[in-house]
Amino acid sequence: MKTLVGTTLALALVATAAQAQTRPGSTEPVAGYAEVVAQSAFGNVTSQSYGAEIGFAVKPGVQIFVEAGRTRDAAPSALGADAQTIAGYLTQSQSGVSFTVKQPVTFGVAGVKFQLPTQSKAQPYVLGGFGLARYTQDVHFLVSGTDVTGNLTTYGVVLGSDLSGSLTKPMMTLGGGVAVPVYQKLVIDLNYRFGRVFASGGGMNINRAGVGLGVRF
């Protein structure tokens, strides 16, 4: 009896896998997933990152995916160093000078995910993708606790593009993880992503590690 049940389940899984790729006579993918993601972002600074991802199977073990998200702060060390130079200049004529530095990044990436062979219900994978990232150089200067960023010309300072404005640059993503089924179509995705934003001045890296909660369809 156990053998019969096992054989039936195996045949059902094979049939499901075959049907999950495309409709008969069509190349349109019909199996996939969607998830929301919360991650810790780390590198020169530590912050949080949030986003969503959706993917579709194109052949057994291969999926295409699209990811969009926002990292609250990915400021490189050069941004803080440049801000320190301005603050140093202000201290020559002002007291109580301080500054804050942040560089939030909003990104969108599309790529390919490869599911690794396994005998476990948990599904490990690796992925790679390419897209765009838009980042804002959010730098503020304070004198005696008052934000004077908008009035820096009064002190003989004009911020350049290295300390102000927003830019959109290419972004590459590599990563991996393991998707663990927890209930019916519900899946927990333990993941890591490495992102490289190809910006002027050497670019910047964004490391993200966290968890996604998704459904398969």
Instruction: Render pLDDT for 35-46 as a digit per residue (tens, 0 to 9).
Output: 999 999 998 899
Decide if pLDDT at 111 tops 70: yes
Cβ–Cβ < 8 Å for 214, 33: yes
Supply angle C-alpha 63, 117, 112, rounded to 5.
20
Pairing of strands 123-136, 32-42: unpaired
Structure tokens at 24: 């008969």
Instruction: Write down the domain spans for the chain.
Output: 1-25, 31-216
Decide if pLDDT at 24 tops 50: no
The Cα 139–Cα 209 span in angstroms is 26
Cβ–Cβ < 8 Å for 158, 100: no
143 has which bridge partners?
Answer: 97, 146
Cβ–Cβ < 8 Å for 192, 171: no
pLDDT tens digits, one per residue of 64-75: 999 999 999 999
CATH architecture under which domain 31-216 falls: Beta Barrel (2.40)
